[in-house]
Amino acid sequence: MLVIDLNKCSGCRRCETHCSFYHSGKTGHMGARIKVEKIEILGIDYPIVCHQCKEHYCTKCPQNAISITQNGSIEVSPTICDLCGACEKLCPIGAIEIYNEIPYVCDLCGGSPRCVEACEMGAISYDPAIRQSVSLDWFKKKTKKIPPSVKRYEYAKQGSVKLRENWLKDRSK
Amino acid sequence: MLHGYGGHILRVDFSSGRILREKTDPSYMLEVIGGRGLNSRRLFDELKRDIDPLSEENMLLIGVGPLTGSLLSTSAYITISGKSPLTGILGDSAAGGFLGPEIKMAGYDQLIFTGKSESLSYVYICDDHVEIRDAVHLKGKDIFQTTAILRKELNDNSIQIAAIGPAGENLVRFATVACNNSRVCGRTGMGCLFGSKNLKAVVVKGTGMVSLSNPLKFMDICKIIDKRIVEHPEFQDRHDLGSTLLMKALNGLGILPVNHFQKGIAPYVDEISGQTLAKNYKVKNKGCFNCNINCSRYYVTKEVESEGPEYETLCSFSSRLGSRDLEFALKMGQYLNRMGLDSLSAGETIGWAMECVEKGIFDKNDFDGLDFTWGNTDTVEKILDKIIHLEGVGADFAKGTRFLADKMGRGSQKYALHVKGLDIICGDPRGIKAFGLTYAIASRGGDHLRAEPFFELTNRFEEAEKRFGTRDAADRLSNNGKAALVEYSERQSLLTDCLTMCKNVGLSMDVLNFELAADLLTSGTGLNFTEDVVNKALRGTITKDRLMNIDFGINSEDDTLPHRFTHEPLLEGASKNQVVPIDDMVKDYYKIKGWDENGVPEKQ
C-alpha cells in the first residue's frame, strides 16, 4: 500500500497532478486518485488514497464489479460497473469517487506509483508487502450519507490530531 | 480546440448584477499570453484613465495563465490587477496557493469585476454556475474566519477562496487579498479595490481538467524544468529556508534594511534569521500548487501558528523597525495576514514615523501619544490596530507613506521611502544596483518583482558577457550593463507572470528562457507561440503598461529613487560607501527600450 508520512507532506498536491496526468494526460483534482485534504487553519495536509483496508468495504459492490488485483489494489471492471455509486458510499474515507462516469480509485500505476516519484518531500512511499493492515472500522460508522469530499475532510481532521499534539507540545520552548 | 486555457472570460458587474461568460479569443491570447499580460492589456483596452481608483468605474481583474494548473511545476499563480488605490497608477499583485488552478479547472482565464455592490457580497463560482451572494454576515471577519465560515456553510473544504479582511473593508489603501489564508496578493492595495466594490470574497470550485495540445512533448519539457530546479545550486537552501534565507544573505552583503535603511547590517541578525526561525518554530514545509521546492513553512510559537512568513514580512517587522524580536515578527505576520494588510507598506509607514521621531521632526503628540522609538513593539501593535480601523492618526497612515508624509510635512517627505507611491521593499538598492534601477522604473512603483535581476548576485560573469555584453552585469556594485540586465529580466519576470509560474523558479533560479517557454506554450496550448511571438507579446505589454502609466500622470521625474539611496552612502558592511547613480542608469534603460529622453515610448 501507499504509506503516507504526514510530518512531511507540504500540501502541494504534486501527487494529484502527476496521478491525474499519468492516467489521462490532463491535470485536475477530480481526475486524481490521490487527493490531498488541506485544512489550512490547522496547518494540516493529508493525502487521502486507498488504504487497501482490512475490511475491503468497497468489494461489497452489488454488481460484483470490484476485485482485488495481485498487487493489492482495487480494480473496477468498466463493463460490469453500472455506476450505482455504492462503492463511493461504502468507502469510509472518500478514496473512491465517481467523476465523468468512472469510479476513480488508486491502481498503484501498475506497480510504480507516480505520486511517490513526484513527491519531492518524500511523504509518500510504496510498500507492496503491506496489505490490509489498516482497519477503518473505527471511522466507518461516522461516514454514512456524507459525500466523499466531506469524508476526506473528516478523516484528515481526526487522523491528524496526534500530529498536532506533537507540534503544540513543543510550543513553549 | 483551445488547450491549456480555461476557454472563458467571466464578467461580473456588481452595479447591474449582470454576469456574462465570453469565449477566450485565441488571437488576443497570442498577443498577451495570459496572467498579468492579459490583465494589463484588458486595462489598457477598457479602463477609463481619469477615474478615482475607488470609484465604480475601476476594474478588478483576476487573471490566470495558459499553463496554470498544468503539469508545469509551480504553475500556481494568479494576478489581481486594477488602478491602484495606493499609487493611482497601474496596480497588480500576484499570489500562489491553489486559487489559480481552481479558476482554470472552473473554465476561466480571467475574472473581470466592475461596478459596486450595494451591500457586502461574495461571488460564488462553480464551473459555469456563477452567483453574487450576500456576505453581510462576514462583515468585520478576518481572512482566516471568512475562509473557515465559507467552507463550513458551503459544506466543502476543497473550494478555493480569495478574501479580504477588515483592512480591505475599511478601504485601507494597502489592504491585501489572501488565498489559502496565507498566500497573499500584498502590493498596490488590491484588497482595498475589493472593499471599494463591496466584494468580501471570491469563492471558486472547478471540477474540470486542464488539457494539453501535445501532452507528451509538454511532459518532456516539464521534466527538463524539474531537473533544472532540483539540481540548482540554491535548491536545498530554498527548500529549507525559502525567502527567509535572505535575512542572513542580505546582512552579509550589507544591504539588510536596519532602522529604516539607515544601516545595512544588523549585529543581531542571528536572532531574527530564517535559520533561527526554522530551528525554533518551523514544524514542516508548505508548498503552493505542484511545487517541487516547497519553500514555505508552517510555524508554531507560544502565541500563534500559521503558514509563512516570507522574507519581506519578516524583515519589515524586525530589523527594518529596529526590533530583534523574532516571535513578534511571526506574530505580526499572522496578524497582518488575518487582517489583510500589506506588511511592506504597513512596515514602511511605521519605519518612517520612527525615523522622523528619532530625527526630532515629530514627537509623541503628533502621533496620538504613541511612542515611536526603534523596536517599540507595543507601539507597532497599537498603530496597526489604528490603521486597520482608521482610528485617529491611523486614518492618515492608512493612506500610505507618501500621503502621510505630504500631509504631516516639515521635510518628512525626504524619509518616505517609496517610488511612485509604492513603498520600497526590504533590499537596500545601494549594494544591488540593478535592483535600484528596477525599483525606479517598475510599472507598479518601488518594487523588485517587475524584474528581480537576481542575476547580478550569482557571479556568473561569463554568462553576463554572453547575454549582456559585459562581465559587469554580474557585479552587484557596478552600474554597467544593468540596463540590459533589467530589460531582459523585466521580460523574464513578465513571462513568469503570464504563464503564471513562481518567480523564484522562473526568474531568480533562471530556469526559464524564452525559447523553452515558447515550446511549453506551443505544446501546451496548440497555438503557434514561437520565441518571436512570445517576445513580441512581452515587449508589447511592457510598452502598453508604460503608456497607460503616462496617461495616469507618470513622467521621467518619477523614475527615480528616494534621496537616501542616491545621496547617502552606506557607512559599514560589504556595500560600504555605495549609492545608486540612478539618473545615468535610467537614461541607459530608456535608450535600450528605444524610449525618448522623457521615457515615452515611440508611437507604434
Q: Which of A25, A40, A121 sits opposite B294 (nearest CB)?
A: A121
Q: Is residue B358 part of a domain?
A: yes
Same-domain pairing of B394 and B487: no
Same-domain pairing of B438 and B386: no
Mutate to test the interface with B, among A5, A10, A164 (most CBs of B within 10 A): A10
> Do the chains contact at B209 and A17, CB–CB below 8 Å?
no
The residues, ordered by sequence, that sit 6+ positions from B6 with a Cβ below 8 Å of its Cβ are B24, B64, B103, B104, B106, B107, B108, B109, B208
Minimal C-alpha gap between B22 and chain A (Å)? 23
CB distance from B75 to chain A under 8 Å?
no
B-facing residues of A in 53-112 (CB < 8 A) are 99
> Do the chains contact at A13 and B294, CB–CB below 8 Å?
no
> Quick one: DSSP state of residue A60?
G
Q: Is residue B226 part of a domain?
A: no
Helix (H, G, I), strand (E, B) or coil at B524: helix
Q: Are B180 and B157 in contact (CB under 8 A)?
A: no
Same-domain pairing of B255 and B358: yes
> Do the chains contact at A12 and B290, CB–CB below 8 Å?
yes
Average pLDDT over residues B208-233: 97
CB distance from A33 to chain B under 8 Å?
no
Q: Assess whether pLDDT exceeds 80 at residue B496.
A: yes
Mutate to test the interface with A, among B149, B183, B236, B294 (most CBs of A within 10 A): B294
Helix (H, G, I), strand (E, B) or coil at A59: helix
Q: Give the model's pLDDT for residue A142.
A: 85
Q: Are A59 and A32 in contact (CB under 8 A)?
A: no
Same-domain pairing of B61 and B200: yes
Task: Assign residue B466 the CATH number of its domain.
Answer: 1.10.599.10
> Do the chains contact at B157 and A120, CB–CB below 8 Å?
no
Residue ranges of the alpha helices (H) in B256-359?
Answer: 269-272, 274-280, 311-316, 326-339, 343-358
The C-alpha atoms of residue B375 and residue B354 are separated, in whole angstroms, by 9
Q: Are strands B60-63 and B108-114 parallel, antiparallel or unpaired?
A: antiparallel
Same-domain pairing of B109 and B156: yes
Same-domain pairing of B47 and B178: yes
| Identity of the amino acid at B527 | L
Enclosing H/E stretch for B123: strand B121-126
Range of the domain at B500: 432-510+530-593
Mean pLDDT of chain B: 97
Task: Assign residue B328 the CATH number of its domain.
Answer: 1.10.569.10
Q: What is the pLDDT along chain A (173 residues), one digit of tens a residue?
A: 999 999 999 999 999 999 999 999 999 999 999 999 999 999 999 999 999 999 999 999 999 999 999 999 999 999 999 999 999 999 999 999 999 999 999 999 999 999 999 999 999 999 999 999 999 999 999 898 899 999 999 999 999 999 999 999 877 55
How deeply is B574 buried, as exposed, middle or buried, from its count of CB atoms within 10 A (0-12, 13-18, 19+)?
middle
Q: Are B89 and B524 in contact (CB under 8 A)?
A: no
- At residue B26's C-alpha, the angle toward residues B23 and B29, to 5°, is 105
Which residue, among A48, A71, A1, A31, has the nearest Cα to A151 in the 3D structure? A48
CB distance from A31 to chain B under 8 Å?
yes
The 8 Å CB, 24+ separation contacts for A73-78 are: A73/A105, A73/A106, A73/A107, A73/A108, A74/A50, A74/A105, A74/A106, A74/A107, A75/A107, A76/A103, A76/A105, A78/A102
| Identity of the amino acid at A75 | E
Q: Give the model's pLDDT for residue A173.
A: 54
Q: Assess whether pLDDT exceeds 60 at residue B573.
A: yes
Nearest residue of B to residue A154, measured between CA atoms? B157
Q: Give the model's pLDDT for residue B604.
A: 56
Residues of B in contact with A167 (CB under 8 A): 283, 300, 305
Nearest residue of B to residue A25, measured between CA atoms? B215
> Do the chains contact at A43 and B298, CB–CB below 8 Å?
yes
Same-domain pairing of B239 and B371: yes
The C-alpha atoms of residue B579 and residue A97 are separated, in whole angstroms, by 61
Q: b or e along B323-357 (b: 16 or more beta carbons within 10 Å of the residue's beta carbon)? A: bbbbbbbbbbbbbbbbbbbbbbbbbbbbbbbbbbb
Q: Are B68 and B104 in contact (CB under 8 A)?
A: yes
Average pLDDT over residues B231-241: 97
**Residues paired with B204 in a beta bridge:** B125, B160
Q: Are B148 and B163 in contact (CB under 8 A)?
A: no
Which residue, among B262, B69, B559, B53, has the nearest Cα to A13 in the 3D structure? B69
Minimal C-alpha gap between B553 and chain A (Å)? 42
> Do the chains contact at A168 and B98, CB–CB below 8 Å?
no
A-facing residues of B in 521-560 (CB < 8 A) are none
Enclosing H/E stretch for B131: strand B129-134
Q: Give the model's pLDDT for residue A172.
A: 58
Same-domain pairing of B162 and B96: yes
Max Cα distance, chain A (Å)? 59
Residue ranges of the alpha helices (H) in chain A?
Answer: 14-24, 86-90, 114-118, 137-140, 148-159, 161-169
Which residue, among B74, B88, B78, has the nearest Cα to B39 in the 3D structure? B78
Which residue, among B179, B177, B2, B168, has the nearest Cα to B77 in the 3D structure? B179
CB distance from A157 to chain B under 8 Å?
no
Same-domain pairing of B42 and B167: yes
Q: How many domains does chain B have?
A: 3
Q: Assess whether pLDDT exceeds 90 at residue B156.
A: yes
How deeply is A132 buried, as exposed, middle or buried, from its count of CB atoms within 10 A (0-12, 13-18, 19+)?
middle
A-facing residues of B in 495-514 (CB < 8 A) are none
Which residue, among B12, B273, B552, has the nearest Cα to B544 in the 3D structure? B552
Same-domain pairing of B375 and B500: no
The C-alpha atoms of residue B288 and residue B278 are separated, in whole angstroms, by 18
Q: Is residue B580 part of a domain?
A: yes
Q: Are B215 and A21 in contact (CB under 8 A)?
A: yes
Enclosing H/E stretch for B496: helix B482-499
> Do the chains contact at B289 and A150, CB–CB below 8 Å?
no
Q: Is residue B2 part of a domain?
A: no
pLDDT single digits (tens) B356-388: 999 999 999 999 999 999 999 999 999 999 999
Same-domain pairing of B189 and B69: yes
Q: Is residue B333 part of a domain?
A: yes
Residues of A in contact with B156 (CB under 8 A): 149-150
Q: Is residue B459 part of a domain?
A: yes
Q: Is residue B310 part of a domain?
A: yes
Percent of chain B with pLDDT over 90: 99
Which grid coordinates belong to A5? 508520512
The C-alpha atoms of residue A57 and residue A73 are separated, in whole angstroms, by 13
The C-alpha atoms of residue B325 and residue B332 are separated, in whole angstroms, by 11
DSSP, residue by residue, B62-98: EE--TTTTSSSTT---EEEEEE-TTTSSEEEEEE-SS
Same-domain pairing of B161 and B240: no
> Do the chains contact at B147 and A10, CB–CB below 8 Å?
no
CA distances from B359 to B38, B318, B382, B417, B448 (A): 46, 20, 22, 15, 28
Average pLDDT over residues B541-565: 98
Helices B461-468 and B482-499: angle between axes, nearest 10 degrees: 90
CB distance from B242 to chain A under 8 Å?
no
Residues of A in contact with B306 (CB under 8 A): 43
Q: Is residue B220 part of a domain?
A: no
The C-alpha atoms of residue B332 and residue B561 are separated, in whole angstroms, by 28
Task: Assign residue B31 the CATH number of its domain.
Answer: 3.60.9.10
CB distance from A158 to chain B under 8 Å?
no
Tabulate helix, strand, coil % of chain A (nearest 5): 35, 15, 50
Task: Please report, to the nearest 10 degrees, the dihedral formed by the alpha carbons of residues B291, B292, B293, B299 taken in order.
Answer: 60
pLDDT single digits (tens) B425-480: 999 999 999 999 999 999 999 999 999 999 999 999 999 999 999 999 999 999 99
Residue B101: alpha-carbon gap to chain centroid: 18
Average pLDDT over residues B540-556: 98
Q: Give the model's pLDDT for residue A144.
A: 86
Residues of A in contact with B293 (CB under 8 A): 120
Minimal C-alpha gap between A62 and chain B (Å)? 28
Enclosing H/E stretch for B419: strand B418-419
CA distances from B485 to B4, B411, B510 (A): 31, 35, 13
